[in-house]
Amino acid sequence: MTNSRRWTDGATSVHKPWFWPPVMWLPGCIKKNNRATAVACNTTGAEPPLRNPNNSIGATTWSIASAILCIAMALLVLPVVAQKSSEFPGSTEDHVAAKGWWPTKATKPDNAYAGAATCGKCHAEEYSSQANTAMAKAALRLSDSKQVAEPPSGRFESGPYSYRLVASSDGWSLEVASGGHAVSSRVLWAFGAGLHGTSYLLDGPGGLYEAQMSSFSATHTLDMTPGHKTALEGSLEKAVGNRLSTRDAARCFACHTTASSVGGGLNPEKAVPGVHCEACHGPGLEHSKAAEDHANAKPIKTIFNPAYLTPSGSIDFCGACHRTLIDVALNPGSSGLSSIRFQPYRIEKSRCWERTEDARLTCTACHDPHEPLVRDAAVYDQKCLGCHNSRHEETLRPSTLRSAVAPPMCPKATANCVSCHMPKYYLPEMHSQFTDHMIRIVRPGQMYPN
């Protein structure tokens, strides 16, 4: 992966690391046409008045003054860079380790959370509609839910073992049988909104286990949980599923529940099922108190608003659970057709994103996280035509485009764009189709581009 980008300013061309913060670029500290410039130090972009080249004292004084000014500017912006470091492209682990809030972060105490209902007092519309999204239904605690339906029927046969879900007075259990013997493990959680499938977390010896089998919506059957392998003949207890490390369990809960990890540790008992307001905006108690305090004119400073992220930061923000480009690059097992499930990664692989990093290509440009997912392909045409239309002069927005090249019009059609340029692929382990978010011209017979 390339670790630098070329930045140009007139006749000057310099290489900078991919994470180089733009505010730290001080062209006043480099030479341009043999004249010192001060673009970063002079907001007008005008060059400083020239000194008499024959006046060596004046030239020396000017050089020293410029150097001091550059150093002062660098020291001033360093704290800003530290606060906004999470906006630069990176892995989710890097973002979480940076200063400030990021999804899946677990450093805040549980008493810092206000609860979604509190958010709804001021944000009633968002609170009401978000409750109907798949994210809000991403998890179900089976032990205390009064709305748990009967478990999926049928059996899953794998090697010498037979699996089935059984209803009991206190919830569900996973029964594993082989050779006339059987063991049961209590199902504590169901993860997944059921759009494609649902996986189950079990109460097992020494911790939490991810069940060997999952249920799949398209086929209404039980089958192997993605990422698992057929259990070898031996202990029934080991055939139940895979024991989760504390790190893996925290990761699962962080992306399916709210406030599951607090004070640096996992606490599933206090987790709120589903992804709600504070999973994305951070703990909101301080914010709600500030909003109620009419004397406080700036309650927005007490909550995180991802709307202010850069386009790259915005995609990585969603990638905290849906996986970023770098997350996939660091995990070779995430490549291949399975990567179609990682939409931020696929977006960042798109040629249009690589050329522009346009804000109109971010996840939230097409999908409102407070609203249920729109599945009518035609609805997205207006998003595509916002860039790809005949009135190119209106599509060029220097504030959002890194490239001044106008995107071409599609010569085939101006409707149902995603049906051609974002095709669906069948993912065998999920028994379902997924839309590929790598936007491109798809050639006949072309293999899935990794």
Contact 221, 73 (CB under 8 A): no
Are residues 320 and 359 located together in one domain of the fold? Answer: yes
On whether residue 147 sits in a domain, the answer given is yes
Are residues 187 and 107 located together in one domain of the fold? Answer: no
Note the pLDDT tens digit of each residue in 253-310.
Answer: 999 999 999 988 999 999 999 999 999 999 999 999 998 887 665 667 889 999 999 9
Helix (H, G, I), strand (E, B) or coil at 176: strand
Longest dimension (CA), the chain: 100
Are residues 160 and 77 located together in one domain of the fold? Answer: no
Helix (H, G, I), strand (E, B) or coil at 286: helix
The whole domain housing 43 covers 4-83
Helix (H, G, I), strand (E, B) or coil at 75: helix
Note the pLDDT tens digit of each residue in 418-432.
Answer: 999 999 999 999 999
- CA proximity to 190, closest of 146, 133, 248, 148: 148
Strand 35-36 to 221-224 pairing: unpaired
On whether residue 443 sits in a domain, the answer given is no
Note the pLDDT tens digit of each residue in 197-222.
Answer: 999 999 998 899 999 999 999 999 99
Question: In the prediction, which pLDDT does 89 show?
Answer: 75
Q: Where does a domain end: 39, 54, 83? A: 83
Are residues 282 and 224 located together in one domain of the fold? Answer: no
Q: Give CA–CA dist 447/103, Å, rounded.
A: 34
**pTM score of the predicted model:** 0.78
Contact 448, 437 (CB under 8 A): no
What does the pLDDT profile of the chain (450 residues) look like in tens digits?
A: 433 333 333 333 333 333 233 333 323 333 333 333 333 333 333 333 433 444 444 545 555 555 555 544 544 443 333 334 345 678 999 999 999 999 999 999 999 999 999 999 999 999 999 999 999 999 999 977 666 678 999 999 999 999 999 998 778 999 999 999 999 999 999 999 999 999 999 999 889 999 999 999 999 999 999 999 999 888 898 999 999 999 999 999 999 999 999 988 999 999 999 999 999 999 999 999 998 887 665 667 889 999 999 999 999 999 999 999 999 999 988 889 999 999 999 999 999 999 899 999 999 999 999 999 999 999 999 999 988 886 654 444 444 444 456 678 888 888 999 999 999 999 999 999 999 999 999 988 889 998
On whether residue 420 sits in a domain, the answer given is yes
Q: Which two tokens stand for residue 4?
A: 């630098």
On whether residue 447 sits in a domain, the answer given is no
Q: Give CA–CA dist 442/413, Å, rounded.
A: 14
Are residues 261 and 317 located together in one domain of the fold? Answer: no
Are residues 23 and 59 located together in one domain of the fold? Answer: yes
Question: In the prediction, which pLDDT does 143 show?
Answer: 76
On whether residue 193 sits in a domain, the answer given is yes
Are residues 311 and 430 located together in one domain of the fold? Answer: yes
Helix (H, G, I), strand (E, B) or coil at 429: helix
Are residues 159 and 29 located together in one domain of the fold? Answer: no
Helical residues (DSSP H) of 357-449, grouped into ranges:
363-366, 381-385, 392-395, 417-421
On whether residue 26 sits in a domain, the answer given is yes
Question: In the prediction, which pLDDT does 431 show?
Answer: 97
Handedness of CA 312, 317, 318, 324 (dihedral sign): positive
Contacts by 387-392, CB closer than 8 A, 24 or more apart: 387/352, 387/358, 387/360, 388/417
Helix (H, G, I), strand (E, B) or coil at 158: strand
- Terminal-residue alpha carbon distance, the chain: 14
Question: In the prediction, which pLDDT does 36 show?
Answer: 32
Are residues 334 and 365 located together in one domain of the fold? Answer: yes
Tell me the DSSP string of 294-331.
TT-S-GGGGS--GGGS-HHHHHHHHHHHH--HHHHHT-
On whether residue 144 sits in a domain, the answer given is yes
Question: In the prediction, which pLDDT does 146 show?
Answer: 63
Q: Which two tokens stand for residue 149?
A: 């339906």
User: Cα–Cα–Cα angle for 52, 56, 57, nearest 5°?
Assistant: 105
On whether residue 442 sits in a domain, the answer given is no
What's the domain count of the chain? 4
Are residues 282 and 266 located together in one domain of the fold? Answer: yes
Are residues 150 and 203 located together in one domain of the fold? Answer: yes
CA dihedral 205, 93, 254, 119 (to 10 degrees): 160
Helix (H) or strand (E) holding 426: strand 424-427
- CA proximity to 71, closest of 26, 37, 39, 32: 26
Question: In the prediction, which pLDDT does 61 show?
Answer: 53
Q: Residue 89's Cα: distance from chain center in Å?
A: 11
Three-state secondary structure string covering 344-363: HHHHHCCHHHHHHCCHHHCH
Are residues 151 and 294 located together in one domain of the fold? Answer: no
Q: Where does a domain end: 263, 286, 302? A: 302
Q: Give CA–CA dist 17/22, Å, rounded.
A: 11
- CA proximity to 192, closest of 260, 248, 142: 142
Q: Which two tokens stand for residue 238?
A: 């080991």
Q: Give CA–CA dist 23/30, Å, rounded.
A: 15
